[in-house]
Amino acid sequence: MGADFVQFSLTPILIGTLAAIACALPGNFLILRRQALIGDAISHVVLPGIVVAFLVTGTVAALPMLLGAGAAALLAVVLIEAIRRLGRIEPGAAMGVVFTALFAGGVLLLEQSDTSRVHLDVEHALMGNLETLIWLRATGWDSLIDPVALSHLPVELPRIAVVAALMAALTVIFWRPLKLSTFDEGFARALGLPVSAIGLSLVIAAAVAAVAAFDAVGSIIVIAMFICPPAAARLMTNSLAVQVWWSVAFATLSAVLGYVLAGYGPLWLGFDSAVSAAGMIATVSGVILGLACLFGPHRARVGVAAGG
Amino acid sequence: MEAVLAALTLQAGYNAALVTLGAALLGFAAGTAGTFLFLRKRALVSDAMAHATLPGVGLAFLVMVALGGEGRSLFGLLVGSALSALAGLLLVDGITRRTRLAEDAAIGAVLSVFFGAGVVLLTIIQTLDRGRQAGLESFLLGSTAGMLFEDAVLIAAGGATVVALIWLLRRPMTLVAFDPGYAAATGVDTRRIDLAMMGLVMAVTVIGLKLVGLILIVALLIIPAVTARFWTDRVERVLWTAGGIGAAAGYTGAALSASAPSLPTGPIIVLLAAGLFTGSLLLSPGRGVLAAVLSRRRFQARVHRRQGLLALARSEPIHDPLTLRLLRAEGLIRPDGVATDKGRAQAAKIARDERRWDVAREVHQDTALTGRYDGLTPIEEVFTPDEIAGFDARLGPPHPVGG
């Protein structure tokens, strides 16, 4: 736990944790609204978004990438809704049509364009590069109060921190309308709440979280964190507030444990190289969900005996 | 262009021809298997299964290497992927039935966790000496490069088997898709049929891994079925149309991809299928957007024509521009808005029709008939001449309009 840890592990762990929390917060509501797969769809269409942004601007700067990915996510949501209504197709199939087609378009554009100069490829998009987000200028724990070293933090860290804070703030500010429109849409409408605007804003917030997290950790963690921690939390309690806290705890646990297992686990087992941190974080979150499915106190549907 | 034509006519070399035929068969199998998945409203379960194949591929490779093999046998890798896809499917099923989580959450959880575990295995494999050349990443997006003759035969044989099984099971699967309760009452084991359907989808997924890749195989299962649904309401026709669409996309896509570099097979096939989908969404005669727009405009024109004629009959002025345009185009009014003789005749007819309806709704007891009054349907289409004569007897003789 000395200088090496601060240099090579502290920032990836922080980024992973913040990304996991940023996704888990909107994930709670998506799960309850049966829109869990929106996260899946968004994380697939992020790829064409960043490819188009790259082709338009010619750089891999963060802002155009984020804007492109956000626009693609929004386009996907609009397309899904349009196809669902115009074609009278069930939402799952409409989603499947849209995100696979957009993803295919992204891959094709990527193969057609010259991206060999920059670090932009499909595998990176899927798996992330959490391991490379290290803090080389750090010399030890005291670097945390050294302004020179702090200015060399990986840019992904402040970015994901801002997004995680934004998600937390939005959750707190819009707690009541979100809760009402999630559990009883008719009642919320009767109270005069803009129900469809709330639904769309939630999806946009999820897209923002997905894009920011995707930038740092790849699309697998994004899908896993949208769904696994909130789903596990849902099996722990009947109170929404408690569920959100559980989901944050599970997200943090998955990120920290996953990163440590990926980085140090193979060494303990006698191998000499680490495994994918993003993949391991997703796996740990799955194990947590599995345990919750087996032992969670509120795992059964109301009226059905647990384990029945 | 020549290269494309050569590939489309299977003249671009032996291997390219094999891949093209294999892709067509795979497309056909995926289209038909996906039809039942779509009708059963479980399209995205295939997404979970497809992503769940990745750890299976990795584990199969590791096992084969541990047993002293090369680790690259496609058959072995596909067996591994089928087993882990099955595990994923059972988990989705188990989570949905045993816990209070909804199916979409179960799908998303299985999809991401299996995929994450698969990526962990891939990074382990990359550190092995043999693993560097394994090219397991090609299963993510599919690749036809370096495909062996045995691989193509495996894909073709697998696709043909799936299609044959679907043909055999099409009746019980249709029954279960539309009315599971009735199916169960007639003695069909719905759970087993569902499992068989999922098994077929799994087979398609596994066969398609090499060609299209695990992320995009879902598209080949969903898009042809949704597209075919636009063209017909009959299950058998949807089934074979979907197969045809899948086969066409597979064949053309594989041929295009073989004819030029940097045209990856999977994405091309998916984009072709998506193109067919978009065309159908817009243009299909029954459920298409264009057809809906046209029928809406026809309806609008009928309403405006009738309301315009009624206004003429009552000698009321018409202000609505669309009504004026329609009546002028038919020669029912002059450019200055005054009714022509033909217009007065039509107006009298419509006005009489309206009065006949009033009487009909007053005296006639059968609400199933009078309920068909919508302000548009001529009364002759609903009542017999005798009945109309009866209404006329109450109305008195016709009188001219706007005289």
Which of the pair, A255 or B317, is modelled with greater confidence? A255
Percent of chain B with pLDDT over 90: 34
Its sign, for the CA torsion B279, B280, B281, B284, is: positive
DSSP SS3 for A194: coil
Instruction: Work out the burial of residue A272: count CB atoms within 10 Å of its CB; fewer than 13 is exposed, 13-18 middle, 19 or more buried.
Output: exposed
Q: For chain A, what's the residue count?
A: 308
User: Average of pLDDT values for A4-17?
Assistant: 85
Looking at residue B1, what is its pLDDT? Answer: 67
Rounded distance, CA B126 to CA B130, Å?
8
For residue B4, the one-letter residue type is: V
CA atoms within 13 A on the CB side of B42: 24
Task: List the beta bridge partners of residue B339.
Answer: B333
Query: What's the pLDDT score for residue B133?
Result: 59
Alpha-carbon distances of B318 from B295, B324, B402, rounded to whole Å = 24, 7, 14
Nearest CA in chain B to A90: B41
| B189 CB neighbour count, 10 Å cutoff | 13
Q: Tell me, what's the pLDDT at A287? A: 95
* pLDDT at B149 > cutoff 90: no
* pLDDT exceeds cutoff 60 at A307: no
- The confidence score (pLDDT) of residue A306 equals 46
Looking at residue B7, its pLDDT comes to 73
pLDDT given for residue B249 in this prediction:
95
Q: What is the pLDDT of residue B131?
A: 57
Residue with tokens 């707190």: A172
Mean confidence (pLDDT) of chain B? 86
Structure tokens at B218: 């879902």
Residue B399: pLDDT over 70: no
For B245-289, how does the pLDDT look when each residue is reduced to its tens digit (9 = 90+)?
A: 999 999 999 888 888 777 788 889 999 999 999 999 999 888 888
CB contact under 8 A, A279 and B230: no
Architecture per CATH, domain B2-280, reads as Orthogonal Bundle (1.10)
Count of Cβ atoms closer than 10 Å to residue B236 Cβ:
12
The residue among A77, A91, A20, A21 whose CA lies nearest residue A45 is A77
- CA distances from residue B33 to B13, B37, B224, B244 in whole angstroms, order as listed: 30, 7, 10, 12
Interface contact A90-B41, CB threshold 8 A: yes
- How many residues in chain B? 403
User: Which residues on chain B are in Cβ contact (under 8 Å) with A108?
Assistant: 263-264, 267-268, 271
Q: Who wins on pLDDT, B391 or B82?
A: B82
- The more confidently predicted of residues A116 and B275 is B275
Based on C-alpha coordinates, what's the Rg of chain B? 31
Interface contact B137, partner A, CB < 8 A = yes
Neighbours of B62 (CB within 10 A): 17
- pLDDT tens-place string over residues B220-242: 999 999 999 999 989 889 999 99
List every span in chain B annotated with CATH 1.10.3470.10: 2-280
What confidence score (pLDDT) does residue B398 get? 67
User: Which residues does chain A have within 8 Å of residue B39's beta carbon, measured at their own beta carbons?
Assistant: none
Average pLDDT over residues A60-73: 81
Per-residue pLDDT tens over the stretch A134-180:
777 777 777 777 777 777 788 788 888 999 999 999 999 999 999 99
B100 vs A: CB within 8 A: yes
CA-to-CA distance for B277 and B268, rounded, in angstroms? 14
Q: What superfamily would CATH give domain A3-132+152-295?
A: ABC transporter involved in vitamin B12 uptake, BtuC (1.10.3470.10)
Average pLDDT over residues A107-124: 71
Residues 182..241 of B with a Cβ closer than 8 Å to A: which?
215-216, 218-219, 221-223, 225-226, 229-230
Distance (Å) of CA A123 to CA A55, A119, B106: 19, 11, 25
Alpha helices by DSSP H, B314-340: 321-329
pLDDT-derived band at A121 (thresholds 50, 70, 90) equals: low
| Predicted local confidence at residue B95, as pLDDT | 92
The amino acid at residue A146 is D
Determine the average pLDDT of the residues in B298-313: 90
Q: Band of the pLDDT at A90, cuts 50, 70, 90?
A: confident
CB A251 within 8 A of CB A216: no
Tell me the per-residue pLDDT of A215-271, one tens digit each, with 9 for 90 and over. Answer: 777 887 788 999 999 999 999 999 999 999 999 999 999 999 999 998 888 777 777
Give the pLDDT confidence score for residue B85 in this predicted structure: 93
Which residues lie below 8 Å from residue B337, measured CB to CB, with a gap of 6+?
A: B317, B318, B324
pLDDT higher than 90, residue B141: no
The ipTM of this complex is: 0.90
List CB contacts (< 8 A) between B274 and chain A. Answer: 97, 100-101, 104
> pLDDT value at position B317?
86
The dihedral region occupied by A114, where left means phi > 0, alpha psi between -120 and 50, and beta the remainder, is: beta
- pLDDT surpassing 90 at residue B2: no
Q: What is the pLDDT of residue B392?
A: 85
- Rounding to the nearest 10 degrees, give the CA dihedral for residues B192, B193, B197, B202: 10
> What pLDDT, on the 0 to 100 scale, is given for residue B287?
84
pLDDT at B55 over 90: yes
| Tokens 């762990």, located at residue | A13
Whole-number Å distance between alpha carbons of B35 and B189? 20
Residue A115 has what pLDDT? 61
**Encoded amino acid at B82, one letter:** A
From B278, which residue of chain A is nearest by alpha-carbon distance?
Answer: A83
Report how far apart, in Å, the C-alpha atoms of B138 and of each of A113, B133, B320 are: 19, 11, 63
The average pLDDT across B7-30 equals 82
Terminal-to-terminal C-alpha distance of chain B: 71
Domain ranges of chain A: 3-132+152-295
Cα–Cα distance, B139 to B211 (Å, whole number): 8
pLDDT band (50, 70, 90) for residue A1:
low
- Range ranked top by mean pLDDT from A126-130, A147-151, B248-252, B343-347: B248-252
Mean pLDDT score across all residues of chain A: 85
State whether A36 and B104 contact (CB < 8 Å). yes
Sort A60 into a burial class: Cβ within 10 Å, 0-12 / 13-18 / 19+: middle
Nearest beta carbon to residue B277 from set A97, A107, A278: A97
* Per-residue confidence (pLDDT) for residue A139, from 0 to 100: 73
Which residue among B107, B117, B271 places its CB closest to the CB of A101? B271
Tell me how crowded residue B367 is: count the other CB atoms within 10 A of its CB: 9
Q: What local confidence, expressed as pLDDT, does residue A135 receive?
A: 79
pTM as predicted = 0.85
Q: How confident is the model at residue B371 (pLDDT cuts 50, 70, 90)?
A: confident
Q: Reduced to 3 states, what is the DSSP secondary structure of residue B339?
A: strand
Is residue B403 very low, low, confident or very high in pLDDT (cuts 50, 70, 90)? very low
**CA-closest candidate to residue B219, choices A35, A123, A108:** A108
pLDDT at position B388 is 84
- Alpha carbons within 13 A on the beta-carbon side of A58: 0
Answer yes or no: do A86 and B289 touch at CB < 8 A. yes
The answer to whether A127 and A220 are in contact (CB under 8 A) is: yes
Q: CA-CA distance, B116 to B98, in Å (whole number)?
A: 24
**In chain A, what residues touch B292 (CB-CB under 8 Å)?**
86
Q: How confident is the model at residue A308 (pLDDT cuts 50, 70, 90)?
A: very low
